[in-house]
């Protein structure tokens, strides 16, 4: 069954703790993205990766870190340096090979709440 998996769906953490959000895909897409969504706002780009072992900062990267050791996986760590981490986090992928397309496909999201 092809798709994008994000886990967990809901995540709670205490202030001062780092937490890692998982994003896995079996679509064989090269590019992967992390977005943050806050109530009443559009999505904002945190980090993106176009190939394995390479990633770039998006518009709001401060307080976050990522890795891309495998094509299928792009985990996001929310560090204690992120001032306001409570939000809905969305992972997306894009097929960047062959006939180029700019369409991104989204996972179901993880809702992070800092207690």
Is residue 86 a contact residue for another protein (CB under 8 A)? no
CB atoms within 10 A of CB 66: 22
**Scanning residues 24 to 43, which ones bind another protein (CB under 8 A)?**
31, 33, 40-43
Is residue 5 a contact residue for another protein (CB under 8 A)? no
Beta bridge partners of 109: none
Single residue of 26, 70, 108, 113 touching another protein by CB under 8 A: 108
Query: Do residues 53 and 68 lie in contact, with contact meaning Cβ atoms separated by under 8 Å?
Result: yes
CA gap 94, 75 in Å, rounded: 16
- Residues binding another protein (CB under 8 A): 4, 6, 31, 33, 40-45, 48, 50, 56, 58, 90, 92, 94, 96, 100, 102-109
């Amino acid at each position: 069954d092809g798709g994008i998996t994000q886990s967990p769906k809901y995540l709670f953490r205490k202030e001062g703790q780092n937490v890692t959000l998982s994003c896995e895909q079996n679509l064989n897409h090269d590019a992967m993205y992390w977005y943050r969504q806050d109530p009443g706002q559009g999505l904002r780009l945190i980090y993106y990766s176009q190939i394995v072992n390479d990633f770039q900062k998006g518009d709001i990267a401060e307080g976050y870190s990522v890795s891309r050791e495998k094509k299928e996986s792009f985990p996001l760590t929310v560090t204690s340096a992120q001032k306001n981490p409570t939000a809905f986090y969305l992972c997306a992928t894009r097929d960047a090979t062959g006939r180029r397309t700019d369409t991104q496909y989204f996972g179901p999201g993880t809702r992070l709440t800092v207690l």
